[in-house]
Amino acid sequence: MTNNRWATIAIYIMLQAALPLAAADTKLADRSQISGGEHQQQLQEPGLNVRGMVPVAEPIKAAPQRLSSVAPPEMQMLSLQAHVVPMFDALTPLQRQMASRAWGYFQREYQTATGLVNSVAGYRETTLWDVASVIAGTVAAYELGLIDNAEFDLRMRRLLTTLAQMPLYDGKLPNRSYHTDSAKPVVQASNRQRNGSGWSALDIARALGWLAILQRRQPQLQTPVAAVIAAWQLPLLVNQGELQGARFSRGHERRYQEGRLGYEQYAAMALALWELPVAKALARQSQQRARVAATLLPFDRRPRPFLTSDPYYLAKLEFGALPPAMEQDYQHLRQAHANRYRQQAQLSCVGEDAIAWPPWFLYNNLHYQGEPWQSTDYLGKPTSRSQRLSSKCAVALAVLADDPLGRALWQQAQQLHHSDGWDSGIMVDDAVNRSRNLNTNAVILTALLYVHNGNQGLLSIAP
């Protein structure tokens, strides 16, 4: 990656910071749902699990690809946040026990033939977002000493071989979901010839972010990572500076903008590591605010504007710094949680999570279409039961700063892991969400590796 490209992106982001602020299987979280240009009639199609579509007039031709994912020094300059004292200087014995219990999920749900891991306990399907979680958890397990070099090498090379060889949607990019035991795409009779129903730019972007982290932290794997990149037509993920997804339904393919505030910028940061031109998505910021818990939070006027904590803390744990506008939004998001705890005695940390009953997955939002602290299904419909605290969110926000909110979240998180694993969270009625799933355990491992890495984002390697 050239320094000139990153210098241009860094300058552009800093200039933006000076502007005034004004039916897929529901057990899987397909983030292509977070997309733009909604057409209501399309949402009624069976299996059409999207947030709308903006068709592209002509297919984008794949340009020659270059393998380059070295973390640029400019990324470490983007955060405007004042110095923050981390919660922990080094891992404690309790935290190592927490990590071991999180890794237990990977051992139980591992598919030896493919290197993939079930997205939910006993459920043999996965998305590319989940693939990123497999990489994250495995890297953390190795660097925290939970597995030895031989097991790490076997698992990662098997997974990378699968990613390089698995059937792609229309021969272009990974399909939305795959069977974990065979690495074959999840297909229906109507889309069998295309090897699936399209791609999610957000899901693939997160996988690419972790492939960049992997080859930086484990350079002996650069060659198999390069084979994965060579197999995928990455330029198709971007259209005119924005993220582009694809959906094949009823014999037609539609391409559309993906992402909402937070998710959009997180994915763009990952794609920028592979020199994809995502300046428009990277610099997006809200010109409108909603008051939640005495804090002004950004909101997105595009359809289905999910606002969860996940993309903010994931970006900080993985990349180490945020674009200035995104950093400011993160600080407001953290303050809203703190104010709710102080004013209402309601300890919260909201994010997306699997649940153990229909609709199987919730977007738990700080703000959604005029309502604070709103849990919805993947279509944006409010659910009868809301989740107020996510285990992975609680651990992530706790390790990121030593403040009253972080300390309270850490105390709560300690109650959510047991000898047989981690619970996913706590509902508003204080019932425990006992869903056992890949992403909960992967994020917890990532957060603990962040501490082990000297409280630095994982693109940086602790001296």
Kindly report the number of other CB atoms within 10 A of residue 239's CB atom. 20
Within-domain flag for 362: yes
Q: What is the largest CA-CA distance in the chain?
A: 57
Position 364, amino acid:
N
Spatial separation of the C-alpha atoms in residues 321 and 32, rounded to whole Å: 25
- Report the pLDDT value the prediction gives residue 209, as an integer from 0 to 100: 98
Within-domain flag for 254: yes
- Report the pLDDT value the prediction gives residue 189, as an integer from 0 to 100: 87
Within-domain flag for 1: no
Within-domain flag for 359: yes
- Report the pLDDT value the prediction gives residue 158, as an integer from 0 to 100: 98
Residues 388-439 pLDDT 10s: 999 999 999 999 999 999 999 999 999 999 999 999 999 999 999 999 999 9
Within-domain flag for 49: no
Within-domain flag for 27: no
Within-domain flag for 259: yes
Query: Which of 444, 140, 462, 220 minimizes the C-alpha distance to 320?
Result: 462
Regions of the chain short of the pLDDT cut 50: 1-26, 36-82
Within-domain flag for 462: no
Residue 130 in 3-state DSSP? helix
R_g of the chain, CA atoms, integer Å: 20
Token pair in block for residue 324 = 């200035």
Domain count, the chain: 1
H helices, E strands: number in the chain: 14, 16
**CATH number of the structural domain spanning residue 317:** 1.50.10.140
Spatial separation of the C-alpha atoms in residues 102 and 92, rounded to whole Å: 15
- N-term to C-term CA, the chain: 23
pTM equals 0.86
Owning domain of residue 105:
85-452
